[in-house]
Amino acid sequence: MAPIVFETHPDEYRRYQLRFDGPVATLALDVPEDAGAGDYVLKLNSYDLGVDIELADAIQRIRFEHPETRSLVITSQNDRVFCSGANIYMLGTSTHSFKVNFCKFTNETRLYLEDLADGSGVATIAALNGTASGGGYELAMACEHIILQDDGNSAVSLPEVPLLAVLPGTGGLTRLVDKRKVRRDLADAFSTIAEGVRGKRAVEWRLIDECAPRSKFTAAVSAAAARLGEKAPARSGSGVPLPKLQPERLGNVTKYRHLTLAVDPEKRVATLTLRAPAGPMPQTADELRRAGADLWALRAFRELDDALLDLRFNHLEIGLLVLETEGDPATVLESDRVVAELAKTDWFAKEVLLHQKRVLKRLDLSAKSTFAIIRPGSCFAGSLLELAFSADRSYMLDAAGGPAIQLSPLNFSGLPMSNGLTRLETRFLATPERVTELRTTAAPLSAREASDLGLVTFTPDDLDWDDEVRIAIEERAAFSPDALTGMEASLRFAGPETMETKIFGRLSAWQNWIFQRPNAVGQKGALTLYGSPERAVFDYRRT
């Protein structure tokens, strides 16, 4: 089976049409029935992974290539159908691991759409010119404003529980009550009405923001895009094109410009090595723009994002990801300084920082164990030190002339986790004053100093280093992957609960479990029998 590739370009889109009209961008869903990756038909604008890959790419290009955009309208090119959600036959025939990873990627893409509004200030409007069900309505809920065509037929619905015996897989239940603040009793009723809710009742229940008759629908959408777009910050200057990364894939080794990913299927271990920038750093907004997509802070993190997705979907057997770095820490610290300072006033620098934040969140959410290995020649400084703070454990060699780690302002602000805290704040929940103290720590820190400050896990000396690291890696790779995934997800997001942590901590765990239950995927399960004349047979015992 060919590996899944996550890079695309608007010229290659098959499921979306992306248009720009001054300050308004329109992303119209138009899924050909034969655009699926498997033996299923994508009827009624249903979607599979390919649809979400294009959506993620479109959002990225709006942010970087089209600074003139103040509003994004997501709608359908098909009359009377917005989106019927994830294709049921795709879900019914996919492996369990693919379903879970598919839902996770879709969740991340919905959150990226929300960050387009929250972080970049671009207004997002879902223009539902037809029925939006399941994942289609979840896509709409990821937008700031929802307009539904009031034609007597168009409705919004989450039919997964009554029809498929599963849950809305991309945060639907959480967004319903946390984001849209739908009353619990109404949310309960809505989530069990397979045919959904229409028109004015949908407005009354807070499921949508407004409805408009067919004759006035286009005008209502245009008015909302103009009204909400007025609040968007002005972003001057030309956009920055994002060419494909085009890594070199040689067997089990993938080489990018700043990153190398080496996979060892036999040991179930992968090593990801990220290299620091070389040469002088741009200093001004104009110089940053001229560097464009080749700017290290953007290019290196795009490469990291692509490698993480490659690992997630194409290397299921890998249980442990070893994180390593190389290069001059001073260049990373300088990159961090320039990006953080310019991000206060320059839209491009801000987008670079927002992108780094999103990629590090993807690392946090990876269902792989992660160990950071800090050895001579390592470059765990500033934004690259976040890799070590994200890791489940870190090992740092304690030796004369050994490695050092170094903090930068980005470790304290700009790169929050899904819980809304920095990785340092999450690390020191019991002693928050430690974070304040660390702000004054600018010098490189040896293994012993880093250990005393609680910044690394273990610091073996020269005599024990090789054996201790080797044994730790072998031991981790030998544990049950199911138990480790659950353990890591429970430990990584200490502190306050947010909509994001609910989606990934609660929904993903429940969906993971429900997707394996006979009531959904057994021979007589609802998902298995969907579309057939047979009725599902449930085991009615509750557990």
| Secondary structure of residue 320 in the 3-state scheme | strand
- What pLDDT score does 1 carry? 67
To the question of pTM greater than 0.85 for the whole model, the response is yes
Which residues on adjacent β-strands are paired with residue 131? 81
CATH fit for domain 249-485, picks 1.20.140.10, 3.40.50.300, 3.90.226.10, 3.40.640.10: 3.90.226.10
pLDDT > 70 in the chain, percent: 100
Given a cut of 90, is residue 536 above it in pLDDT? yes
- What pLDDT score does 329 carry? 96
Tokens of 460: 């073996």
Percent helix, strand and coil across the chain, each rounded to 5? 45, 15, 40
- What pLDDT score does 513 carry? 82
**296, 355 contact by CB (below 8 A):** no
Q: What confidence category does residue 242 fall into, taking pLDDT thresholds of 50, 70 and 90?
A: very high
Domain boundaries defined on the chain: 12-229, 249-485
Q: For domain 12-229, give the CATH number.
A: 3.90.226.10
Alpha helices in 191-275, H assignment, sequence order: 199-204, 217-229
Q: Which range, 36-40, 169-173, 187-191, has the best average confidence (pLDDT)?
A: 187-191
**106, 170 contact by CB (below 8 A):** yes
Given a cut of 70, is residue 133 above it in pLDDT? yes
Given a cut of 80, is residue 170 above it in pLDDT? no
Q: What is the pLDDT of residues 49-87, one digit of tens each?
A: 999 999 999 999 999 999 999 999 999 999 889 999 999
Distances (CA, A) of 377 to 276, 323, 401, 402, 450: 11, 14, 10, 9, 17
Q: What is the pLDDT of residues 513-530, one digit of tens each?
A: 888 899 998 999 998 999
Mean pLDDT of the chain: 94
Domains 12-229 and 249-485 share a fold: yes
> What stretch of H or E contains 270?
strand 269-275
Could you tell me which of 53, 28, 38 has the C-alpha nearest to residue 88?
Answer: 38
Which residues on adjacent β-strands are paired with residue 259? 274
- What pLDDT score does 108 carry? 94
- What pLDDT score does 112 carry? 96
- What pLDDT score does 69 carry? 96
SS (H, E, C) 140-209: HHCCCEEEEEECCCCEEECCHHHHHCCCCCCCHHHHHHHHCCCCHHHHHHHCCCCCCEEHHHHHHCCCCC
Q: What are phi and psi of 147, to 5 degrees?
A: -120, 125
- Terminal-to-terminal C-alpha distance of the chain: 37
Given a cut of 80, is residue 461 above it in pLDDT? yes
pLDDT > 90 in the chain, percent: 85
Q: What is the pLDDT of residues 267-318, one digit of tens each?
A: 999 999 999 999 888 999 999 999 999 999 999 999 999 999 999 999 999 9
Distances (CA, A) of 56 to 27, 51, 286: 12, 9, 27
